[in-house]
Structure 1
Amino acid sequence: MAPAVPTTMDRPHFIGIGGAGMSGIAKILAQRGARVAGSDAKESATAEALRALGATVHIGHAADHLDEDATCVVVSSAIRADNPELAAAAERGVPVVHRSDALARLMDGLRPIAVAGTHGKTTTTSMLAVSLAALGLDPSYAIGGDLDGPGSNARHGGGDIFVAEADESDRSFHKYAPEVAIILNVELDHHANYASMDEIYESFETFVGRVRPGGTLVVSADQAGARELTERVSGRHDIEIVTYGAAEDADVRVLKVTPRGLASEVTVLLNGKMLTFAVSVPGSHYAHNAVAALAAGVALGIPAHNLASALGKYTGVKRRLQLKGEANGVQVIDSYAHHPTEMTADLEAIRGAAAGSRVLVVFQPHLFSRTQELGTEMGQSLALADASVVLDIYPAREDPIPGVTSDLIIDAAKEAGADVRPEHAMAAVPDVIAGMARPGDLVLTMGAGDVTDLGPKILARLES
């Protein structure tokens, strides 16, 4: 039986309750019986889903949205200090709880699997949640995206396993004490919070230090940063370190990834035995995510062949190479990729899955700081597309940085030989794509911002 709601969180108020991470925690608390309330900037399907669970969701931020009997206010790092509800909490002496602390409390008394890495967290966490549920283990989970299957980013389950994304962006993953930790990759990102790779390594070392004695670290044997981290933490002898990947020295070795259209088949060598299973998403990147999930499940004592079969039940997560539809012979696919490594992986996956098709990209850079540091690499990734349209930077929580615009990406893309053009008006994109696309093409809307909203509009324009 899952733990009860902590007394201090039985009447929580979430500022920004519609966010991927925040809404997941709110859903689990509501499912456990808490009286949940909160606010968000705009109406959304997430707000409606929360209301269906009994939560009160206000639109807009105002001090009087905070109930008099609220036991805590939950915030993320994106909430600014001048938020009126946060100010009201300070005036009334209502405890303020960071999202990561709230999630950590939900894991108390359970067997947590925490998935970390610069990219791939949502997919890997989703694969675990779906496969464990398919095996009847009824896990709880908190994911940074909506599953295609359960249609939710979070669930309170009756089993003893809790699967969660572990966010390194603001060091909040230091709050968790997992039985099994997965580290998919270690790269420099989140430039507003990390100044160097040394700081990144130190942060991940702290996370590894939080793994429970007797637990397991599952870590990539292929990615350079992950290998370096493995060396740095190899002195920790109270946990098992399991590596996975195509490298010859990997403990769980990926022998082959075979494309099967918009899916793939992966063969691994595990404990001296070969195992082949299906992955219902394309590309080596996602196949390796599935192998990480497999290794983590085995670390919990789940038979490998059972878990491998269950991983085939995973059908994807929204925004991770999600097919939005087809019109006049043109498929439109949505990609959350916003880091150059992710962009390259998704473009290579699509090219491998649809050989002979032209790939057109609508890319929206995410964050000024990320564009400033990685704009050149983003432009180089776009050279893998046949043609690209680059939108203005989606600021999210950041203020503009002088001189940092999408031109940094466009110039680098042109330098790499890419066919790329700017577009400052998002409303014009459907017409632009309609003028470029022809039957057989694939269109990727790519980025972590509201570029995702363009998919249906592009399809509608292609049909007109």
Structure 2
Amino acid sequence: MAPGIPAAMERPHFIGIGGAGMSGIAKILAQRGAKVAGSDAKESGTAEALRALGATVHIGHAAGHLADDASCVVVSSAIRADNPELLRAAELSVPVVHRSDALASLMGGLRAIAVAGTHGKTTTTSMLAVALTELNLDPSYAIGGDLAGPGTNAAHGEGTVFVAEADESDRSFQKYDPEVAIVLNVELDHHANYASMDEIYESFEVFAGKIVPGGTLVIAADQEGAVELTERARALPSLNVVTYGESETADVRVHRITPRGLTSEVTVILNGKYLTFTVSVPGRHYALNAVAALAAGVALGIPAHNLASALGKYTGVKRRLQLKGEAAGVQVIDSYAHHPTEMTADLEAMRGAASDARLLVVFQPHLFSRTQELGTEMGQALALADASVVLDIYPAREDPIPGITSALIIDAARSAGADVTAVHDKAAVPGAVAGMAKPGDLVLTMGAGDVTELGPQILDHLSS
């Protein structure tokens, strides 16, 4: 057995290996020496990156892709029961392992930091990965997005720390036993899996209860859901609770956040001392993410001053307010935001960074269930833009819900006074947006689906 690889992971087969969470685990296993294989629906840069690490990646799903000697099949909650490779695994009696269990096995024996929350997980996990790498601690990490610097979502490091994004959407974050956990916020989302806020709180409480005895929960002091969870967490045995934020009662208190164009200067009060550092991405929400990362690193024993300086080296994650380019005096930026809170935060960040610019948004709703529950709030968030184009709903893993369309969002946006245009043909969007944009404008493509593909196309139309 190769060093550092659990026996069941020696020859894993990943169904949907190109996904953000799945590919990260596959990369770490390949770097540790496992014989990794898998399949994905389409060719991608991620598939090529995995092949470069020695993995076998098939395009399309077929029973024949699963090798007879596979040690396990790794799946996410998005994989349907009728997937031919999953059916073949049953025929061969190959164990089926959920993505979260695979990730948990990779954390074994390491000092794990698990980053949870309805929003901000990818950014905060990335900030920690970059800062710890900058401090020569050589961490392992698994992130739901590609870092702008190293350009990857995962790595096997030789150090003792493992930083992981902990996904609450299907309760899989309850599988981890971190030494330090971060909870950035607690809101109702993932409506196919959670029926109420009570279920959300219960799920996060289980997650907090999995922190190792004597470990630390770092949690926001300013967000309503996090405050409720804090009260529950304080009743858990052998758990240190550290709050952060702008509240007067926060253990790591934010004294000031000063916007500096596309960066921010942050001053915190930590152990009675003022500490000022730079966050090299715009927006108050990203500054608060950096403070959460700072508090978690300090809980792990890293000197605050060193960590604060290293956090300034973080320059972003793909799809998190990522500048795609500029043409004809128009900047095109890509945002993964798909929940109203995220949408509002990113739109406000863009307003703060370029207050004189006109802001045009191309928004693609993600999931029918999310639109059904939060479509009104999505529309209200779009009122922060000067004009918006709204696409049809990106279904991802869901089947349509009768009567639920983008019209729900568009009607709410117009009721809030927004200038909104519905475009049902995605191919028509680049030309339409290029026709709307003027020199000095900012164009923001927004959503968790394939709307990200439109940024380069808009730039091409602007250039022609």
TM-score (norm 2): 0.99
Match for residue 108 of structure 1?
108
Matching of residue 90 in structure 1 with residue 90 in structure 2: yes
- 1:202 CA displacement: 0.3
Report the equivalent of 2:438. Answer: 438
Quick one: structure 1 residues 113 and 424, their matched pair in 2 at CA, closer, same or farther if it must change by over 3 Å?
same
**Separation of aligned partners in 2, 1:181 and 1:421:** 42
**What is the distance in 2 between the residues matched to 1:82 and 1:305?**
52
1:259 aligns with 2:259: yes
- One-letter amino acid matched to 2:355: A
Residues 1:185 and 2:182 aligned together: no
- 1:315 maps to 315
Aligned to 2:203: 203
For the residues of structure 1 that align with 2:24 and 2:279, how far apart are their CA atoms?
25
* 1:78-100 CA distance string (max 9 Å, x none): 00000000000001100000000
How many Å separate the matches in 2 of 1:421 and 1:256? 38
- Describe the superposition over 1:358-396 as per-residue Cα deviations: whole angstroms up to 9, x where unpaired: 100000000000000000000000000000000000000
SS at match of 1:190: coil
Match of residue 41 from structure 1: 41
Q: CA deviation at 1:236?
A: 1.9
Q: Deviations over 1:198-250 (max 9, x none)?
A: 00000000000000001000000010000011011211241110000011111
The equivalent of 1:231 in structure 2 is 231
Q: Give the distance between the partners of 1:334 and 1:255, measured in 2 at CA.
A: 30
Percentage identity across aligned positions?
81
Matched residue, 1:120: 120
Aligned residue in 2 for 1:377 = 377
5 Å-filtered alignment, 1:242-321, equals 242-321=242-321
Partner residue, 1:405 = 405
Are the aligned partners of 1:321 and 1:335 in contact in 2 as well (CA < 8 Å)? yes
**1:341 and 2:308 aligned:** no
Counting matched residue pairs gives 463
Distance in 2, matches of 1:377 and 1:253, equals 30
- 1:79 is aligned to 79
* Equivalent residue letter for 2:453: D
- The residue that corresponds to 1:158 in the other structure is 158
Amino acid at match of 2:429: V
- In 1, Cα distance between the equivalents of 2:119 and 2:191? 15
Q: Counterpart amino acid of 1:193?
A: N
- Aligned twin of 2:65: 65
Equivalent in the alignment of 1:144: 144
The root-mean-square deviation of aligned C-alpha atoms, in Å, is 0.8
Partner of 2:167: 167
Preserved contact between residue 233 and residue 241 of structure 2 (Cα < 8 Å): no
- In the alignment, the residues of structure 1 paired with residue 194 and residue 235 of structure 2 have an alpha-carbon distance, to the nearest angstrom, of 25
Q: C-alpha displacement at 1:3, in angstroms?
A: 6.0
Cα distance in structure 2, aligned partners of 1:141 and 1:343: 26
Verify the 8 A CA contact 1:3 1:109 in the aligned structure 2: no
Q: Secondary structure at the match of 2:269?
A: strand
TM-score (norm 1): 0.99
Corresponding residue for residue 391 of structure 1: 391
- 1:394-448 deviations in Å (ceiling 9; x for gaps): 0000000000000000000000000111000111111111111101100000000
Aligned to 2:368: 368
- 1:430 and 1:39 mapped to 2: Cα distance? 31
Deviations along 1:5-48, one digit per CA (max 9) or x if unpaired, are 01111000000000000000000000000000000000000000
Question: Where do residues 16-31 of structure 1 align in structure 2 (5 Å cutoff)?
Answer: 16-31=16-31
Unpaired stretches in structure 1, ≥5 consecutive residues: none
Return the alpha-carbon distance in structure 1 between the equivalents of residues 205 and 358 of structure 2.
42
SS at match of 1:334: strand
The equivalent residue for 2:218 is 218
